[in-house]
Amino acid sequence: MKKIAILQSNYIPWKGYFDMIAAVDEFIIYDDMQYTRRDWRNRNLINTKNGLVWLTIPVANKGQYEQKIRETLVSEPDWAKKHWRSIELTYARARHFTEIAEWLAPLYLNQTETNLSLINRQFIDAICNYLGIKTVIKNSWDYQLIEGKTERLADLCVQAGGGVYISGPAAKDYIDESIFTGHRIELIWFDYSGYAEYPQLQSEFIHGVSILDLLFNCGQDSRSYMKFLK
């Protein structure tokens, strides 16, 4: 049966995000949801010699951030060059820096996009390409959207021809499993536990950082530290 996952886009997400993409046949980016401040939509963490540092894409405030994620625009045009400089300073000594920088640096240094969703998609696609993830990635606006939190998710699965829906465990707080059962869709909770540690530049190992940390340190061997790419 076709497996589906539905998540909002994140900026340079952590490895678990890409594992979920790799675990399904179709991944739907759910950027028709309201933009939320201080979340993963426009920021992520890197592990520097001075500890964890946020890389944040500055976005415009449209009515106290009442816009959808896909309506959110960047507010400062030079953010990308600043981010690359921080990444370069942090990971220049990493074993696979040159290899990763060859395709990653142009995404920053030649960045002209102003829409947050499209920026996130650029990075997600590039990282999937490097890791060899072949999952079909679509946008929620490629489909008709009905009302109701769980109803909408289940209906998206139906439209995509899915028989299995894989969800992050945080969604247990609001998903009504009976709706998936009513559509004869199997609901599976994704397990983010049990990741092996990999060589990091810093002495204190931290899992929940951008996947860029894993890529710079491990290159193509990054796959062996993930669950669905070994």
Q: How confident is the model at residue 61 (pLDDT cuts 50, 70, 90)?
A: confident
**So what's the pLDDT on residue 165?**
98
Pick left, alpha or beta for residue 209 (phi over 0 → left; psi -120 to 50 → alpha; otherwise beta): beta
Give the range among 16-30, 62-76, 130-144 with minimum mean pLDDT. Answer: 62-76
- Summarize pLDDT for 138-147 with one digit per residue, the tens: 999 999 999 9
**So what's the pLDDT on residue 1?**
93
- Summarize pLDDT for 1-46 with one digit per residue, the tens: 999 999 999 999 999 999 999 999 999 999 999 999 889 999 999 9
In the chain, pLDDT over 70 holds for what percent of residues?
A: 98
Average pLDDT, the chain: 95
**So what's the pLDDT on residue 229?**
73
Give which of 140, 226, 138, 154 is closest to 190, Cα–Cα.
226
- Summarize pLDDT for 150-173 with one digit per residue, the tens: 999 999 999 999 999 999 998 998
Residue that is written with structure tokens 């193509």 in the block: 220
Q: How confident is the model at residue 64 (pLDDT cuts 50, 70, 90)?
A: low
Q: What is the mean pLDDT of residues 75-98?
A: 97
Q: What is the mean pLDDT of residues 59-68?
A: 77
**So what's the pLDDT on residue 66?**
77
**So what's the pLDDT on residue 38?**
87
**So what's the pLDDT on residue 113?**
97
